[in-house]
């Protein structure tokens, strides 16, 4: 998989990809992540990427021309399966969307700023608009990092234990069960007996029931939507 991220602030974005799982995924050649600074696609000395909005009103709008130049230069090299715009008015990210996107080959992510991009960018280029939740960030960069992380960890070979993404919360519309590690007792608090029993059939049953109970208590909406 290849992810190209278009941004006016690459420095906000690079560090999450330089550590831990995301770094290792790139080192193993399972994903390539490239950053493109929109200012390098501007014309004129001011490297202008935004302008006042037609009709008046507070807030600047990202111009179509640099975005067109950047996307077109990428498309000249390869084809893209999705061109995603990160925006608070997009569809809300969930595990199903992350799963779907993890099956794609090449993806562009466009990070918005200010009042967002000229509507014609959305009409012309964007295939999918994604929000990471009902709140407004200063820009799309942190949202792109969240989206990329949720996708990359699902790529085969990225997580050490191949099954571990399958047992994440939300993979089957259930929250993950409680987990414990050593010591078996801490300040009088004991690990549930069953987990020490070595009976893996019973342990699986317990985990499934625990996941159901936790989901019922914390996120009953997940069970209703099945």
67 or 158: whose CB is closer to ligand ADE? Answer: 67
* Residue 58, phi then psi, degrees to nearest 5: -75, 150
Answer for which of 3, 4, 87, 210 binds ligand ADE (CB under 6 A) is 87
Q: Is 150 in the site for ligand ADE (CB under 6 A)?
A: no
Q: Which stretches of 86-199 are DSSP H helices?
A: 95-101, 119-124, 141-152
5 or 159: whose CB is closer to ligand ADE? Answer: 5
Q: Is 31 in the site for ligand ADE (CB under 6 A)?
A: no
Binding site annotation covers 64?
no
- Across-strand partners of 189? 186
Q: Is 215 in the site for ligand ADE (CB under 6 A)?
A: no
User: Who contacts 95 (Cβ-Cβ below 8 Å, separation ≥6)?
Assistant: 150, 168, 169, 170, 171
Binding site annotation covers 136?
yes
Binding site annotation covers 188?
no
* Burial class of residue 170 (count of CB atoms within 10 Å of its CB; 0-12, 13-18, 19+): middle
Known binding-site positions for S-adenosyl-L-methionine: 112, 132-137
List residues near ligand ADE by CB under 6 A: 86-88, 112, 131-133, 135-137, 140, 143
């Amino acid at each position: 998989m290849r992810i190209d991220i278009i941004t006016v602030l690459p420095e906000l974005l690079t560090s999450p990809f330089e550590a831990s799982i995301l770094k290792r995924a790139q080192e193993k050649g399972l994903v390539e992540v490239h950053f493109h600074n929109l200012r390098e696609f501007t014309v004129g000395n001011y490297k202008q990427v935004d302008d006042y909005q037609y009709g008046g009103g507070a807030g600047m709008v990202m111009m179509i021309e640099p975005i067109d130049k950047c996307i077109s230069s990428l498309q000249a090299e390869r084809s893209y399966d999705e061109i995603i715009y990160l925006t608070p008015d997009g569809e809300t990210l969930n595990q199903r969307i992350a799963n779907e996107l993890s099956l794609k080959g090449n993806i562009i992510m466009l990070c918005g700023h200010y009042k967002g991009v000229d509507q014609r960018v959305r009409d012309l280029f964007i295939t999918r608009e994604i929000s990471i939740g009902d709140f407004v960030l200063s820009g799309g960069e942190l949202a792109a990092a969240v989206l990329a992380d949720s996708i990359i960890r699902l790529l085969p070979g990225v997580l050490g234990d191949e099954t571990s993404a399958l047992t994440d919360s939300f993979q089957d519309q259930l929250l993950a069960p409680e987990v414990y590690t050593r010591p078996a007792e801490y300040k009088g608090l004991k690990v549930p007996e069953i987990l020490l029993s070595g009976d893996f059939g019973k342990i699986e049953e317990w985990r499934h029931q625990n996941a159901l109970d936790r989901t019922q208590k914390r996120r009953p909406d997940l069970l209703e939507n099945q």
